[in-house]
Amino acid sequence: MRIVECFLSLSRSLDFSHQGLMHHHRRTALIAAKLGRAIGMDSGELLALMQAALIHDIGVITWQEKLELFDLDIKSPWEHCLRGEKLLRANRSLQHLAGVIASHHDRWSGNNPSGIKGAHIPLHSRIIHLADRMDILINDEINILEQKAWIMKTLHGLRGIIFDPDLMDTLDDLAMHDEFWFDLVSPWEAYILRSMAPISHIPLQLEFLSDIAQLFAQVVDAQSPFTNQHSQGVALLSRFVGEQLGLSPEELEQLEIAGLLHDLGKLSVPTEILEKPDRLSATEFNIIKQHPYYTYWLLKPVTQVFPLADWAAFHHERPSGNGYPFGKCDDELDLQSRIVTVADIFAALHEDRPYRPSMSWDKIASTLKNLVQQGELNNYLVASLLDNRSLVNQVWESL
Ligand SMILES: [Fe+2]
Ligand SMILES: [Fe+2]
Ligand SMILES: [Fe+2]
């Protein structure tokens, strides 16, 4: 499994918006990689640049914030830069990208909160900045070649003010070829990016995957104050149940990753629906129902070492076949999927929701037992939580 595959797939979760599923991170990465290659970056640098470009807007929380970034002249881009920097700074495997993300809107001429300007701005940030602004100028409704003159003219108007003049010259060279433009709107964008990524023979380590999962779990949990520790909670509770059942350390680590990422698909649900205090309309519920489906397909390409997509995405499936969206039945649900399901239900009942407060232990216990009686949950999994009240509370408080 290649690191670039993991980034390519997960970055898709950052592209949901009011305009539908966009190509912003992939296209920014594509332009950035072309610029990096044109200036002769070595393969290690190029890989780091592609990684940073694929998650450059990781600090954006709401869809409204995303919308504002689609103005060429963003009023205040700094908040999402700093949030992204903070998330990455705290991440064991991705710290090296923090500085680049912090400065990805820094202007060449200065006046940046970072206090730096010109060639003092990290090169990767300057490249991502130019690539990012170029992407938002592209209109998918119009033939790309009809737009190129206007796009280049617009970017040139900001040469030396916003953008590094040398990088603008490099872009001029690239822009002479129609192929460059066709690549930007190509249906094979992921294939092109993959083929540009330097081959690294280091396999994706579980520890690295776990750090990436932590990062994306934080992004998911930040969507709403009601869920601000939900993914973390589900991950720790899943691990706890796995420990009670005697799973190996490696299996526990894998299970925790599935817990962290189970709601990744929620990034496809607008904040207004996640936080709606009233009953959801049928249309809104249809949107909610998509989230495990998206979790599945966002995670499917990430790893083949263990069935991450199944374990994470089947948390609304029920042995009776009455769950959603896959309608899986008893023997199609493996142990890990069921553990994540129990942990998810327990965590949700333990948390406030816009439409109800958190439940007491007794209320949670009776709700879970009811589900066991209806054949929707396994008794021994529920018991591994309910029989360990003080330990479970410790896990919860450790959040
Ligand atoms: Fe940005
Ligand atoms: Fe961006
Ligand atoms: Fe959940």
Residue 133 CA to ligand 1 center (angstroms) comes to 9
Q: Say if residue 340 is in the same domain as residue 240.
A: yes
The radius of gyration computed from the CA coordinates of the chain, to the nearest angstrom, equals 23
Which ligand is located closest to the Cα atom of residue 295? 3
Whether residue 47 lies inside any domain: the answer is yes
Ligand 2 centroid to Cα of residue 262, in Å, is 25
Give residue 81 CA to ligand 2 midpoint distance, Å.
10
Ligand number with the minimum distance to the CA of 32: 2
According to the model, what pLDDT value does residue 1 have?
A: 65
Same domain, 86 and 228: no
CA distance 27 to 54: 9
Give me the pLDDT at residue 76, please: 85
Residue with the two structure tokens 């940073």: 52
State residue 199's pLDDT score: 81
User: Residue 146 domain-assigned?
Assistant: yes
Residues 165 and 239 in one domain: no
Residue pair 37/50 in contact by the 8 Å Cβ criterion? no
Q: How many domains does the chain have?
A: 2
User: Is the domain of 226 the same as that of 310?
Assistant: yes
Tell me: cis bond preceding 165? Omega within 30 of 0 counts: no
19 within a domain of the structure (yes/no) = yes
Per-residue confidence (pLDDT) for residue 320, from 0 to 100:
87
CA of residue 101 to ligand 1 center, whole Å: 8
CA–centroid distance, residue 261 to ligand 3 (Å):
9
Same domain, 189 and 214: no
- Pair (27, 62) in one structural domain: yes
Q: From CA 252, how far away is CA 248, in angstroms rounded?
A: 6
Among 149, 167, 196, give the residue marking a domain's end. 196
- Average pLDDT per 10 consecutive residues for the chain, totaling 399 residues: 88 91 95 98 96 97 89 88 97 97 97 95 98 96 97 98 98 98 96 90 86 97 90 97 97 98 96 88 94 97 94 95 92 96 96 88 96 94 96 92
The residues that are catalytic are 266
Whole-number Å distance between alpha carbons of 85 and 100: 8
The residue segments making up the domain with residue 319 are 206-397
Residues 173, 219, single domain; the answer is: no
Amino acid letter for position 341: T
User: The domain that contains 65 carries what CATH number?
Assistant: 1.10.3210.10
**Cross-strand partners of 17:** 20
Main-chain dihedrals φ then ψ at residue 190, nearest 5 degrees: -65, -40
- Which ligand does the CA of 125 lie closest to? 1
Question: How many angstroms is it from 381 CA to the middle of ligand 1?
Answer: 43
Nearest ligand, measured from the Cα of 227:
3
Tell me: do 22 and 157 sit in the same domain: yes
Same domain for 343 and 388: yes
Per this entry, what is the length of the chain?
399
201 inside domain: no
Strands (E), the chain: 16-17, 20-21
d(CA 364, CA 392): 13
Distance CA 270, CA 207 (A): 31
For residues 145 and 13, membership in a common domain is answered with yes
Which are the contacts of 194, defined by CB distance < 8 A and separation ≥ 6? 2, 4, 5, 8
Q: How far is CA 331 from the centre of its chain?
A: 30
Burial degree of 174 (CB within 10 A; 0-12, 13-18, 19+): middle
**For the CA atoms of 253, 52, 267, 292, what is the dihedral angle to 10 degrees?**
-40
Classified as helix, coil or strand, 250 is helix
| Residue where a domain terminates, one of 146, 177, 196 | 196
Task: Give the SS3 label for residue 272.
Answer: helix
Do 92 and 124 fall into the same domain?
yes
- 192 and 212 together in one domain: no
Q: Look up residue 323 and give its two tokens.
A: 């769950």
Q: Does residue 130 contact residue 155 with C-beta atoms inside 8 Å? A: yes
Cβ(35)–Cβ(184) under 8 Å? no
